[in-house]
Structure 1
Amino acid sequence: MISLDSVRELVPYQDQPAQLPAASNGKVGVLRLGFERRGERTILSDLYRQSPLLVQRALYWDEELPGLPCIMILTTSGGVLQGDRLYLDVDVGPGAQAHMVTQSATKIQEMDANYGTQLQNFTLADDAYLEFLPEPVIPFRHSRFVSDTRVRLPESATMLYAEVLQPGRKYYGDGEIFAYDLFSSALRAERPDGRNLFVEKFVVTPDRFPVARIGVMDRFHVFGNVVLLTDPERAARVFERTAAPIWDAQTPLATAVSRLPNDAGLVCKVLGQETEPVRAAVRAFCVAAREEVTGCTFPPAFSWR
């Protein structure tokens, strides 16, 4: 397995936890998922799991796309702990479709030693379609977390990838806004022949470089990032529907869509003070993307009230 332990931003955090050492038994979570088209339906044809990562059986609850398997990723540890090393490997076969979410927000637990890492690999075949829409990430006080995501897909395939980053436990005690030590996230995309499409990486170290300033987060607290990897024709249709920037001073909320290099697709950035408006803006972009790529929409958002 590829390791992230040598990346530059992790150099200050090489000490070992007083409990279990990093990457010891119970701290290496592995998920391998393979999707295959069978007639009118896609099935989860390959599954390997190693705690603390688990996955539910494939469910077919999406009435708009009844052949779409909906997969929920679970964790037995209540979040990412110091010393955790998590791996996710997803393969989507020709013409297959899949929708992946997480059980709840990913909580990066408070740390006093070492760090947590997550390595994600997605491989899509011709005409494959994958939605990876996890719940928000909440980095607790003094947490350190590095994520690296790599996507390999042909031009005919489509992947919709979203992430929402909260500032911490905003309403816990006196509030934990940007109180974490390190949050690093990288996304890389390439063609099957190895040709690189783009790399996007952001590293947040609030103690060293305050983020609540103009040109960074300013008065905003929540960051949404949505990437649509698809062919230029589909991307152009989505861009036509979503290109107009949104600025809502009352909420407040800011949204903008840009083209990715090398005709890779689109990226949508969202900033807000609260999570739900950001999630709504992320969903709106995802709805436009699914409609233009598949001709079907998302089911109505489920209301817990």
Structure 2
Amino acid sequence: MPLDEFDLIRRYFTRATPGAALGIGDDAALIAPAAGLQLAVAADTMVEGRHFFAGADPYSLGWKSLAVNLSDMAAMGAAPRWFTLCLTLPAADAGWLADYARGLFALADAHGAELIGGDTTSGLLAMSIQILGEVEPGQALRRDGARDGDDVWLSGPTGAAALAVRQRYGELALAAADLAHCAERLDRPVPRVALGRALRGLASAAIDVSDGLAADLGHIARASGLAAEIELALLPQLPLDPAVQAVPGYDLARLAGGDDYELCFTAAPAERARIAALGAELALPLARIGAMRAGRGVTVRDAAGQPLALPRAGFNHFD
């Protein structure tokens, strides 16, 4: 017997929501943010053929569709609490839905985020999640707080996801171990929620690297009325076979590839010791990769200090 919309929701997505006054099952959910906290709200959509390849593993899609939203909470220094899901399906396939829900809730449970509502319909495979988090007033990490002379930091190496995309398009051939690492980074990114929370009161600005490091740092620069400089030699190297560094476009992947979901943030030079200690505490390779300066735009400098030209700035959803 085919699943209808309500059976689908009951079977795969209805769970207890102790953190909400009312969860799935009514015309709207009811939530009560903790006293004195602000709500941080974000939303992301993933569409087959635009954000993921046809035939993608449903468990990984469930994981990633929430991960990209959790990454937005991380970039704001917010604690994720609730989310809604709008799911468009070509067909109500029970096996696909079970695997998608497992991936979704594996990450949701790890971060204490509750699914409290949404919608389902038929059509081209797509998933939209809206997430709500809590943050202390005045403590949210924003893009407009960087100051002239601030250091620019990155929470981990970028570029692996972009290399996985190139592999799937047949543009390069990675060794099995390297491909496995790159595919994991593309399909099941790890949102830096704990880091974002720890950066409250420490970072002056932050953003998650979703569309490409140079492009996303450019958003901080623009919002803060400054220029940003990246020193290519300071970017953390991907943990791949050294031969991969000779692949044409390797540096472009690290600078403009997107889908990394690391945090890029700025902080005063006086905070270097505290940030280093935080990296050790969280077992994250926090790297100082540049600085904010007076001016406009983003400049990438090579080992000799010469500016590099970037063929493109980063991912654009309407290219």
Q: TM-score, with normalisation over the residues of structure 1?
A: 0.25
Q: Which one has the bigger helix percentage?
A: 2
User: Which of these two proteins has the greater Rg computed from alpha carbons?
Assistant: 2
Higher relative contact order (CA 8 A, sep 6+): 2
Q: Which one has the bigger strand percentage?
A: 1
Q: TM-score, with normalisation over the residues of structure 2?
A: 0.24
